[in-house]
Amino acid sequence: MWSKKYVGMILLIALLPSPALADSAGPGTQATNQGSVVNTRHNLTQSFTTLGGWMDTARNNYGEVCVYCHTPHASNRQIAAPLWNRTIVPTSFTVYNTPTTLGRPITQPGVSSLVCLSCHDGVTAVDSVINIPGSGRYNASQETVVSQAFLSSWKLEGKPGPLSPGHAGIQTCTDRCHNSSIFSVRTNLQFDVFVIGTDLMNDHPVGVQYPTSFGADVDFRAPTGELAGKMKFFDTNGNSRADVNEVRMYDSGEGYEVECASCHDPHGVPSAGPGSTFNPSFLRVSNTSSTLCLACHTK
């Protein structure tokens, strides 16, 4: 149960005036979305409003931006993701099963989706890491299981830690605070849209194999670049590299497949060159005039 003091704080937050939203930040955010991941929602060490202190009721503030996903040592051995520090709870996802023009198999999400879903499944605690900053703060069992006790040990470092209700996933944050009932005006504080969950039937399919042959009867474009055994991509500038602003398909062992990271880059992609505002929603390519969709689809 929440204390009266905690409930009172939530009511106070809800009544605060809504500040102007940053351009192209959708869904609304106070982050500048420029420069680096530090200035985006994916910086979990801070809030971009005056309400940042309340985040400490739901997650550890490790004081380091990258550590919520990455660690230089003792990374997650259960997934082939770069120096991955987050817990990957074994999960069976309900996949998109509506007939597609691809006519291709749809499997469970691959690595380049699972890393995103390790937070956006809505259940896994946003601060659930394997290697907490500091000496001797490693727990191998965190690779696949969230230990509230281990995460709460961060308090022993004298750093801010959850007060109540504890280490929360995005769904809990949404249910208890960041929803339209509490923040009816401040849409930038509503987290509903960030909860993908484990039922993926109403989302663009991931884990779906991209066509291997193309022609008049195939409504998809052929990728123009390839890193054999890793990815195929649309090499829009012809430099033979998979640049951050180029859509790609990943090979997780079942052929080249569309995954979350095919269209999204969690660090942000400048919309018009270095220093410009990032594309909304961490998109690799802006979807103005369906540009992102038409990178793959021929319609």
pLDDT in tens, 229-265: 999 999 999 999 999 999 999 998 889 999 999 999 9
**Mean pLDDT, residues 3-31 taken together:** 43
**Mean pLDDT, residues 101-106 taken together:** 71
Burial class, 3, CB count within 10 angstroms (exposed 0-12 / middle 13-18 / buried 19+)? exposed
Report the pLDDT value the prediction gives residue 157, as an integer from 0 to 100: 67
Is the CB of residue 251 less than 8 Å from the CB of residue 257?
yes
Is the CB of residue 126 less than 8 Å from the CB of residue 170?
yes
What pLDDT digit, counting tens, does each position of 133-175 carry?
A: 988 899 999 999 999 999 988 876 666 566 545 799 999 888 8
Which residues face 257 on adjacent strands?
209, 250
- Token couple for 225: 């670049």
Looking at per-residue pLDDT, the higher value among 227 and 188 belongs to 227
Report the pLDDT value the prediction gives residue 13, as an integer from 0 to 100: 38
Angstrom distance (rounded) from CA 144 to CA 135: 22
Smallest CA-to-CA distance from 128 within 155, 148, 156, 153 is with 148
